[in-house]
Amino acid sequence: MPYHLSASKLQTYSRCPRSYHYRYEMGLPSASFFGAAGLGTALHKTLQQIYGDWHYQAPIPEYEWLESCWLKNSVALSMNQVQEGREILQTYYQQYMVAVGEINRPLALESKIQGTFLAENVEFNLTGRCDRLDWLDDGLELIDYKSAKTVNLPDPTTVDLQIGLYYLALAQRYHKSLKQLSLIFLRTGEKVIFPATAEHMQKVREAIGEIALQLRSDRQWQPCTGDHCKRCSYARYCNAVKDDPEPVPEAEIKPKRQLQLTLAL
Ligand code: SF4
Q: State the closest ligand 1 atom to the C-alpha of 21, by its place in the atom list counted from 1.
A: 5
Stronger pLDDT, 248 or 258, i.e. the higher one: 248
Question: Alpha carbon of 219 to those of 210, 224, 247: distances in Å?
Answer: 11, 15, 18
Q: Give the closest residue (by CA) to ligand 1 atom 7.
A: 229
* Tens of pLDDT, residues 208-250: 998 888 888 767 789 999 999 988 889 889 999 999 898 887 7
- Distance, CA 236 to ligand 1 centroid (Å)? 9
Strand 190-195 versus strand 178-185 pairing type: antiparallel
* Tens of pLDDT, residues 177-219: 999 999 999 999 999 999 999 999 999 999 999 888 888 876 7
pLDDT of residue 36: 38
Q: Give the closest residue (by CA) to ligand 1 atom 5.
A: 19
Q: Which of the four pLDDT bands, split at 50, 70 and 90, describes residue 262? A: low
Q: Taking the CB of residue 206, how many other CB atoms lie within 10 A of it?
A: 11
pLDDT of residue 232: 87
Averaged pLDDT of the chain = 88
> Which residues line the pocket of ligand 1, CB cutoff 6 A?
16, 18-19, 223-225, 228-229, 232, 234-235, 238, 240-241
What's 110's DSSP letter? E
Q: Give the closest residue (by CA) to ligand 1 atom 2.
A: 229
- Distance, CA 188 to ligand 1 centroid (Å)? 35
Question: Alpha carbon of 45 to those of 118, 152, 186, 191, 196: distances in Å?
Answer: 35, 22, 13, 19, 27
